[in-house]
Amino acid sequence: MAMETRGDRSWLKAQLLEGQRDLLPPLLNASVTRITRNGMVIQGIELSSRVQGSIKARVSQHRQTWWIAVVTEDLLASYEDLDPLEELSERQGLPGGPTNLS
């Protein structure tokens, strides 16, 4: 996470990089909402447009949540028979839980 400034506006930006390449679209107005011994949760806004790099392209905003897990033997044992995303959605009170996209 890093502070980004444009003009008189500033915000925190979260990125997952490989070298200089974004592996996921960056999150703007990012904040760490939870830290545990097994990882953390970062929430923010993803901006997307149909035409990359165009000034006149319509930009959509989407709330996103990243769950960053530090994979340890303890973490694997605690979730052996559970779906951690379903558990997280239940704790957050999200309706319907995760969607199976396969």
Residue boundaries of the structural domains of the chain: 2-70
pLDDT at 62: 92
| Average pLDDT for 3-26 | 91
pLDDT of residue 76: 75
Which pLDDT belongs to residue 66? Answer: 93
Q: What is the pLDDT of residues 27-83, one digit of tens each?
A: 999 999 999 888 899 999 998 877 666 666 788 899 999 998 888 887 777 766 666
DSSP string, the chain: -EEEEETTEEEEEE--EETTEESS--EEEEEEEEEETTEEEEEEEEEEESSTT-TTS-EEEEEEEEEEE---HHHHHHTTTS-HHHHHHHHHT-TT------
Q: What is the pTM of this model?
A: 0.63
